[in-house]
Chain A
Amino acid sequence: MSFLERHPEKPLLANRRLRAVIGVVVLALLAVPFVTTDALTGLILTGLVFVMLGVSWNLLAGYAGQISLGHAAFFGMGAFVAAWLTTPSAAGFPASIQLPILVAVVVGGVAAALIALIIGPIIFRLSGHYFAIGTLALAAVIELVMLDQRSLTGGSTGYYVQGDLAINDFVGHGDVMFLLTLVATVLTIAVTYRIVRGAGGLGMKAIHDDEEAASSLGVNPLKYKMYAFVVSSFFAGLAGGLYGHYTLYINPESTLAVTWTIDSLVIVILGGMGTFAGPILGSALFLLLDTGLAAIVGSVATTIEGTLIILFIIFLPQGLYGLAEDYLITDVGRGGASAAPKSSDATPGTDPDVVSDED
Chain B
Amino acid sequence: MVAGELVSQSIVNGILLGGIYAVAALGLSLVFGIMDIVNLAHGHMLMVGAYVAILVFAATGITPLVGMFIAMGLLFVLGIVLQKVLLKHVVGEGIEQPIIVLFGLALILQNIGQLVLGGDARTADLGIPGDGINLGFAFLSLPRTVTFVVAVVLIGATWAFLQYTKTGQAIRATAQNRTAARYMGIDTDRIYIITLGIGTALAGAAGALLSMLFPINPFVGWSYLLKAFAVVVLGGVGSILGTLVGGVILGVSENLGALYLGGGYRNVVSLLIFLGVLLLKPEGLFGTGGGGE
Contact = CB atoms under 8 A, between A and B. Distances in A.
Touch test A–B (CB under 8 Å)? yes
B95 A357 contact: no
Given A128-B95, A262-B107, A314-B89, A359 B178 contact: yes
Nearest to A144: B268
A307 B114 CA distance: 16
Interface string B57-93: 0000000000000000000000000000010111111
A136 B224 CA distance: 12
B16 to A, nearest CB: 24
Interface stretch (B206-214, B247-255, B271-279): B271-279
Given A137-B275, A144-B271, A130 B94 contact: no
A117 interface: no
Contact of A141 (B86, B90, B111, B268): B268
Contacts of A355: 92-94
B107 A306 contact: yes
A284 interface: no
A132 interface: yes
A interface bracket (residues with beta carbon within 8 Å of B):
35 or more
A46 interface: no
B111 A306 contact: yes
Interface in B210-230: 222-223, 225-226, 229-230
B264 interface: yes
A138 B226 CA distance: 10
A130 B226 CA distance: 11
A313 B271 contact: no
A144 B292 CA distance: 27
A357 B95 CA distance: 13
Nearest to A303: B111
B98 to A, nearest CB: 9
B279 to A, nearest CB: 6
Given A130-B293, A132-B95, A352-B91, 5 more contacts: A128-B95, A130-B282, A137-B226, A262-B103, A306-B104
B88 A122 contact: no
A323 interface: no
Interface in B8-29: none
Given A141-B271, A307-B108, A313-B100, A136 B226 contact: yes
Interface in B159-215: 177-179
Contacts of B89: 314, 350, 352
Interface residues of B, number: 51
A133 B222 CA distance: 10
A300 B115 contact: yes
A349 B101 CA distance: 14
Given A132-B38, A132-B95, A144 B226 contact: no
Given A313-B97, A352-B88, A359-B178, A144 B267 contact: yes
Most B C-beta atoms less than 10 A away, residue of A136, A305, A314 = A314
A303 B108 CA distance: 4
B268 A313 contact: no
Interface of A: 1, 3-4, 61, 65, 67, 122-123, 125-130, 132-134, 136-138, 140-141, 144-145, 147-148, 258, 262, 265, 269, 273, 299-303, 305-310, 313-314, 317, 349-350, 352, 355, 357-359
Nearest to B274: A137
B114 A299 contact: yes
Contact of B115 (A3, A127, A299, A310): A299
Contacts of B147: none
A139 B106 CA distance: 18
Interface string B17-53: 0000000000000001000011010000000000000
A168 B52 CA distance: 57
Contacts of B99: 67, 129, 132
4 nearest A-B pairs in the assembled complex, by CB-CB distance: A306-B107, A128-B293, A302-B111, A306-B108
B32 A140 contact: no
A145 B108 contact: no
Contacts of B139: none
Interface string B242-271: 000000000000000000000011011001
